[in-house]
Amino acid sequence: MLGLLFIPLLPAMAQEPGRTVDDVLALYADKVQRRLQPRFLFADVDWPPRQVSLVAFKDTRLMELWALSDSGWQHIKDYRVRAMSGRKGPKLKEGDRQVPEGEYRIELLNPNSAYHLSMKLDYPNEFDRQQAQQDGRSNLGGDIFIHGGGVSSGCLAIGNTAAEELFVLAAMIGQDNVSVLITPRDYRFRPLQSVSPDAPAWVDDLHAKIADRLRLFPLADKR
């Protein structure tokens, strides 16, 4: 879900220190299962699933949850991204307030987030570092999270209920079984467009790769 711009914490958003992932599961797992299991059963996907993917669209501030079944990826649910900063285009440096673009993994589950619960992305990933070296860039930033609450700078804020669902799901199936695809727009029905004349030359190729990856998640399978 960038260097995270410091935002003063609201008292209601702070968590008691020392809470563990197991503590979060004890608090929310039953509730999350009651909400999500019927959706997985409707999509003919086992609960808990063996692998899920989150697909986030910058332009519409929508995040789709997909789960892998024997017949391919099945759409489970949509979430509204309540806050993100920046514009079309990947994150290039610390402090640019851009949400990165590309495919990422969950690096860390944070049960003590100031924004209820959070999941850290592995930005910068190998691709990001390679392009930065090619461009001669350094200080790429980091600490990119998908988190609860409704404010964010460089991360993706999805609200507390959604954060509970995705955090618990990731904890249940293992964070290595969760992928996150962040795209500037929905290339399943919208054409590729150049970002801007001054964008690095590799950005258009990145968006073409994202568009190709999106073919795994067909619109026709959204219920």
The helix or strand, by DSSP H or E, that contains position 197, with its residue range, turns out to be none
147 catalytic residue (yes or no): yes
**Pick from 116, 121, 119: nearest CA to 161:** 116
Cβ 45 vs Cβ 67: under 8 Å = yes
- Angstrom distance (rounded) from CA 109 to CA 201: 34
Which residue in the list 75, 116, 147, 207 is annotated as catalytic?
A: 147
Strand, helix or coil for residue 33: helix
Residue with tokens 């990856």: 213
**Pick from 180, 201, 183, 179: nearest CA to 192:** 183
Which residue in the list 75, 116, 155, 207 is annotated as catalytic?
A: 155
155 catalytic residue (yes or no): yes
H-type helices in 101-141, by residue range?
Answer: 126-135
- Neighbouring-strand partners of residue 213: none
* Per-residue CA distances from 103 to 20, 25, 216 (Å): 27, 27, 13
- Neighbouring-strand partners of residue 89: none
Task: Write out the E strands in the chain.
Answer: 52-57, 62-69, 72-80, 102-110, 118-121, 145-147, 156-157, 178-183
Q: Which residues are catalytic?
A: 147, 155
